[in-house]
Amino acid sequence: MSTDNKDSAVQYVEIPAVGIPAVDVTDRHPEPKMPSACESGGCGCATGSSEPLPTFSFGEVTVNGVSIGEHVISREMQHHRADSAEAAWQAAARALVIKTLLLQEASDRNIAAGVHGDAEQETDDRSETDDDARVRTLLEEVLIPEKVHEEECRRYYDTQTHRFRTPDLFEAAHILIEPNEQSESAWQEAEQSARSLIEQLGDDAQAFSEAAEQFSGCPTAHQGGSLGQIRRGELEPVLHDVLETLAEGTIFREPVRSRFGWHLIRLHRKINGRILPFDMAREKIFDMLEARAWVNSASHYIAELAQRADIEGVQIDSAADAVANVSTEHE
């Protein structure tokens, strides 16, 4: 197993439930730009609060006689989304119990930080702490995950073919007719203008392009209303739903309302997605199945440690419970 996959498979500090991720077969798009309110701190997410985090307590938690402090659990809670403070506290406490179990086992085996390398290792653009290094070394020594074979990769591919289909692409254009003001009469007037324009244009591509340059309130007006090649998720859902109903070279016969105004929508061409061949997907499938094998092996090992330990305050009853507290990737 590669070092990158091994490191990602044994993370245990931030602990969401494990799921088997879909293999990404699409080409990457640029990350969306942060809204200006976020950049300025207007939404409260760009600047950290100077106030201390509240401390919660739902009982004492100990692992083999070692107490985990209330403030430590409260600080860990921020990494665990839940419907209530108590549920988040329980998830945080279980995560810290698992961390403590693994560190205690590392101590019993005389595993010190830096045994297999530097005390700090750069992993996923972060510095690996001494505790992280000790747990990683422990799991490298004790885990024997199941080997992933070609037949298993092929079986996964054959039963999950939909995961390896590239998305449909739509070459489309639109004209945005904006209301002059946010009043019902202004919206009705804009709708009537959009309907009249639809009647005038028909399915003529050149006429649509010229009308977009003349009437559209969207920045795409200067390029004839062209939206380029788009896929689902890149338009307002209501607009994309309409696109998928259109035949190539036609305009939708009704204006479509969004929060911006009324849209005239034309589909120039549709490019159907395709199923990637197994040879192109094999490496990603192998990496995913290998990481899953490590997670399963780690969860069973953690469950065995929990069964032998004296734990108070939370329960880790089984491998199924442990697997919910081992992450396949550090968020």
pLDDT at 114: 60
Mean pLDDT by 10 residues, the chain (331 residues): 51 34 39 35 39 67 90 89 88 91 92 57 61 90 92 95 93 96 95 96 96 96 95 92 96 95 97 94 94 92 91 73 47 37
So what CATH class is 167-271?
alpha beta
Q: Which of 228, 165, 161 is nearest to 25 (CA)?
A: 165
Q: Please list the residue range(s) of the chain that carry CATH number 3.10.50.40.
A: 167-271
In the chain, the N- to C-terminal Cα span, in Å, equals 21
3-class secondary structure, 79: helix
Under DSSP, is residue 16 helix (H, G, I), strand (E, B) or coil?
coil
Residue 45 pLDDT: 37
Q: pTM of this prediction? A: 0.56
Are 213 and 224 within 8 A, CB to CB? yes
Q: What is the pLDDT of residue 59?
A: 78
- Please tell me the predicted confidence (pLDDT) of residue 196: 97
Residue 77 has what DSSP assignment?
Answer: G
β 66-68/61-63 pair status? antiparallel
For residues 206 and 42, what is the distance between their CA atoms, to the nearest angstrom? 44
Residue 16 is encoded by which pair of tokens?
């969401």
* Range 157-166 contact pairs with CB under 8 angstroms and sequence separation of 24 or more: 157/278, 157/281, 157/282, 157/285, 161/275, 163/22, 163/23, 163/25, 164/23, 164/25, 164/275, 164/276, 164/281, 165/25, 165/273, 165/274, 165/275, 165/276, 166/25, 166/26, 166/273, 166/274, 166/276
In the three-class reduction of DSSP (H, G, I as helix; E, B as strand; rest coil), residue 29 is classed as coil
Say whether 74 sits in a helix, a strand or coil.
helix
Neighbours of 124 (CB within 10 A): 11
Return d(Cα 234, Cα 177) in angstroms, integer.
20
pLDDT at 318 (0 to 100) = 54
| Residue whose tokens read 């032998």 | 308
Q: Which two tokens stand for residue 145?
A: 């995950």
Tell me what pLDDT residue 82 has: 87
What integer pLDDT is reported at residue 314 of this predicted model?
84
CB 63 within 8 A of CB 311: yes
Concatenated DSSP letters of 253-306: SS-EE-SS-EEEEEEEEEE---BPPHHHHHHHHHHHHHHHHHHHHHHHHHHHHH
d(CA 106, CA 114): 13
Q: What pLDDT was estimated at residue 8?
A: 46
Looking at residue 43, its pLDDT comes to: 34
The set of residues, in sequence order, having a beta carbon less than 8 Å from that of 65 and lying 6+ positions away, is 310
Position 243 scores a pLDDT of 95
